[in-house]
Amino acid sequence: MKVGIIVFPGSNCDRDMYHVLTDVFNLDAQYYWHEKSLPKNIDAVILPGGFSYGDRLRAGVIAAHSPIIKDVQKLAEKGVPILGVCNGFQILVESGLLPGVLLKNKSLNFMCEWTNLIVENNKTPFTNQFKLHQKIPIPIANGEGRYYADGDVLKQLKKKNQIVFRYSQIVNGSTDRIAGVCNEAGNVVGMMPHPERAVEPEINPVDNKPSSLIFESLLVKMGVSN
């Protein structure tokens, strides 16, 4: 199974993601610079966290115009699993692959803390091993992580089961406590918290198993035994 990790100028969680994919889950992961192309036979794509282009103009908006995004869009249309984490989520939104927008946190501060997610959709390639409403202890680290959707968009998200994760409590002022969404097909998922920072017991003070299920779900989706 080949997983591509896209690297933008300013990405800083790409190595964490690579470590988890290769050392924890024994997957064949490779870095792809944002100016390059993605291979057609790739099995999954991950857009990691960071501060692409220094969050200039708006988090993720410049990276959303990188050449490699056209390949991501084509793969998304083919049903290839795509995960955007934190800045990766922002890029997916800015590129039109996911609905809504990410705004500055209500506190206007950078937030770095542990929180809990609630699984609202366990039918995606990254959540199929969860029980519905299962809790995930996981860290956040962002300054523009407040998900916003107006009334019409929120109505459609609920109707089409596109809300994947909610915070268990109010964290940053996100609409309806939304922490992650998917596209209508369900193969493109974006989330603000960092699962790659929570899958190992050495760095998760609560329980690393739930975050591990995000990656184990991908393995099951692709028919890979770990």
The secondary structure of residue 24, as a DSSP letter, is I
Q: How confident is the model at residue 225 (pLDDT cuts 50, 70, 90)?
A: low
User: Which listed residue (34, 120, 144, 194) is catalytic?
Assistant: 194
User: Which listed residue (13, 86, 120, 182) is catalytic?
Assistant: 86
As beta bridge partners, residue 148 has 101
pLDDT in tens, 147-176: 999 999 999 999 999 999 999 999 999 999
Indicate the domain borders of the chain: 2-222
Integer Cα distance of 149 and 174 in angstroms: 9
pLDDT in tens, 59-90: 999 999 999 999 999 999 999 999 999 999 99
65 is catalytic: no
196 is catalytic: yes
pLDDT number for residue 117: 98
Tell whether pTM > 0.85.
yes
User: Which listed residue (120, 144, 196, 216) is catalytic?
Assistant: 196
Are the CB atoms for 90 and 47 separated by under 8 Å? no
As a whole number, mean pLDDT of residues 114-142 equals 98
In CATH, what number does 2-222 get? 3.40.50.880
77 is catalytic: no
